[in-house]
């Protein structure tokens, strides 16, 4: 189970329902040319968003070596989805797509002051990570395809006819607006989960255009833009902070990989990995989908962690409250 902490200070007015909803709204930006989420016309944030930034030419972060020294780099990466650990197609983070007319319900949050306290489109059709009776993080990722609005919850459960969650967050996928700094989300980093997931449709077509979400076990009590929150146990900057971005070295040339696995390798070189939560070292996430080929998953397990470096993404920032980049 991941650790979480509350924000140092949260302005009371922002915790109110109306203001919290406004915090996730913002002016629309041009959408990306990436592949839309299956079953929708929604793309995961505008083309200028941090998730889509090409990091190949960015400098290595001055703390890269120190961070990596605390990240078990003697292992290979592990795809946290697909037919792995014998769990078959039920392994991974499910995505639920709903119509804009879907019934909305109230959710009771453990971290209410850092959650978007609006009604969420949850129901019998909501797919929850691990299933409704799981003991893990139980993320729910729900996309309103009519408004391209993303709803994500953590520790999601329905009990005695009422929906409960640890935290909840809402984003407009047409906006670069970030959550208030200090607020968690369904992820410890305060970031959305969906844009960092590998999705079968984009891997199948070999057109991945975003960074990939991953975890490690020991993290700092700090976070880097555009992350908004952290849940680490170490006060030192020598440990990796939430929002840190890692690039696969251009010199890494694997052999024996098929075209789909090579598309993932290219994405890790161009867009990198994003540290978004506490968990097993070098586990990277994808959607739950029965179509993930076992052979592809096996190939992705051969990517060595020691071929990554942390990059300095500070030059990309335009505004502290926006995910838009130069």
283 assigned to some structural domain: yes
pLDDT of residue 18: 33
4 assigned to some structural domain: no
Residues 6+ apart with CB under 8 A from 173: 31, 42, 43, 44, 45, 143, 148, 149, 150
Asked if 168 and 153 touch (Cβ cutoff 8 Å), the reply is yes
Count of domains for the chain: 1
115 assigned to some structural domain: yes
121 assigned to some structural domain: yes
How many residues would you count in the chain?
A: 326
Query: What is the domain extent for residue 101?
Result: 12-316
112 assigned to some structural domain: yes
pLDDT of residue 87: 54
Hey, what are 193's tokens? 């989960």
10-residue mean pLDDT series, the chain (326 residues): 38 32 34 76 97 98 98 97 68 96 98 98 96 90 98 97 98 98 98 98 97 98 98 97 98 97 98 98 96 95 98 98 98
262 assigned to some structural domain: yes
pLDDT of residue 246: 99
pLDDT of residue 35: 80
pLDDT of residue 153: 98
232 assigned to some structural domain: yes
Provide the whole-model pTM: 0.89
pLDDT of residue 48: 97
324 assigned to some structural domain: no
């Amino acid at each position: 189970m991941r650790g979480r902490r509350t924000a140092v200070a949260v302005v009371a007015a922002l915790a109110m329902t109306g203001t919290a909803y406004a915090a996730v709204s913002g002016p629309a930006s041009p959408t990306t040319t990436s592949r839309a989420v299956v079953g929708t016309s929604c793309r995961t944030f505008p083309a200028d968003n941090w998730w889509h930034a090409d990091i190949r030419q960015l400098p290595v972060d001055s703390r890269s070596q120190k961070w990596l020294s605390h990240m078990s780099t003697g292992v290979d990466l592990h795809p946290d989805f697909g037919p792995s650990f014998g769990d078959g197609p039920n392994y991974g983070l499910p995505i639920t797509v709903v119509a804009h007319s879907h019934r909305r319900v109230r959710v009771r949050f453990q971290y209410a002051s850092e959650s978007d306290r609006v009604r969420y489109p949850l129901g019998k059709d909501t797919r929850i990570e691990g299933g409704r009776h799981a003991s893990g993080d139980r993320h729910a990722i729900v996309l309103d395809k009519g408004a391209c609005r993303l709803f994500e919850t953590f520790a999601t459960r329905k009990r005695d006819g009422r929906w409960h969650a640890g935290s909840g967050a809402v984003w407009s996928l047409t906006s670069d607006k970030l959550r208030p700094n200090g607020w968690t989300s369904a992820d410890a980093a305060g970031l959305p989960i969906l844009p960092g997931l590998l999705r079968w449709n984009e891997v199948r077509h070999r057109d991945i255009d975003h960074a990939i979400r991953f975890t490690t076990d020991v993290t700092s009590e700090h976070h880097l833009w555009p992350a908004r929150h952290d849940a680490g146990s170490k006060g030192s900057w020598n440990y990796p902070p939430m929002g840190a971005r890692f690039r696969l070295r251009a010199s890494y040339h694997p052999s024996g990989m098929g075209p789909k696995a090579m598309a993932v390798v290219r994405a890790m070189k161009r867009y990198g990995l994003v540290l978004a939560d506490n968990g097993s070292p070098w586990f990277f996430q994808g959607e739950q989908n029965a179509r993930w080929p076992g052979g592809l998953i096996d190939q992705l397990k051969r990517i060595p962690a020691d071929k990554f470096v942390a990059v300095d993404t500070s030059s990309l920032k335009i505004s502290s409250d926006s995910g838009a980049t130069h």
